[in-house]
Amino acid sequence: MLRRKVMPVKEVSDRHRALLSEMARVMYDAKGIGLAAPQVGISESMIVVDTGTGLYKLVNVKVTKKEGRQCMEEGCLSVPGVGVKVKRAKKVMVEALDETGKAVCFPAEDLLACVFQHECDHLEGKLIVDYASLIGKIKIKKTVTRFLKKAHDGTAFPPKGKFGAL
C-alpha cells in the first residue's frame, strides 16, 4: 500500500470527513506531525498535518510551487525508529480541498513546508528511505528488522485505532 500512488477523491463526503478526523486522532496518538491516507491503508488522496500551528485536513493535495532549499532529518510513523536527512524546498505553495470540499491555496515554509512535501510523497508512493544513501539503507534495514522482531515478540507496538496498527 505504501508504494502505490493514491487515487484522487472525486467529491469530499461525510465518509472522508470521518476518515480525516480518525487520521488526525491516530497522528496525535502516535505523537506525529503528519499522516497520509496510505499509512492507514487508504488509497485516496488525503493528509492531516499539525506542526503546532493548527490542524490541516486536506484532500487532493498538491505542492504547486517550490522555492529555496533546506535539509532536515525526518522521521516517519511508517518507518519507526528511522531518521533520514532529506533535502526539500524551504517554501512551498499548497493547493487542496479542505474537509468541506472547498478549494484552498496557501504558502508554507520551513518545518510546515517539509511536512507537506513528506506527506505528498506518501501520496505518490515514496518514503523517506528512498532519500537515504546506500549505507543509510543498510542501517535502516537493520533498524526495521529489529523493530519487526520486537513487534513479533509483543515488546513494541505502534498505536492502534480504527485502522489497526500503522
- Catalytic residue annotation: 119
**Pairing label, strands 103-109, 91-97:** antiparallel
Kindly state the cell numbers that stand for 162. Answer: 480504527
Say which residues have a Cβ less than 8 Å from residue 128's Cβ, sequence separation at least 6: 74, 75, 76, 79, 82, 84, 86, 118, 121
Contact 49, 19 (CB under 8 A): no
Provide the sign of the torsion angle of the four alpha carbons 127, 99, 17, 101, taken in this order.
negative
Beta bridge partners of 106: 94
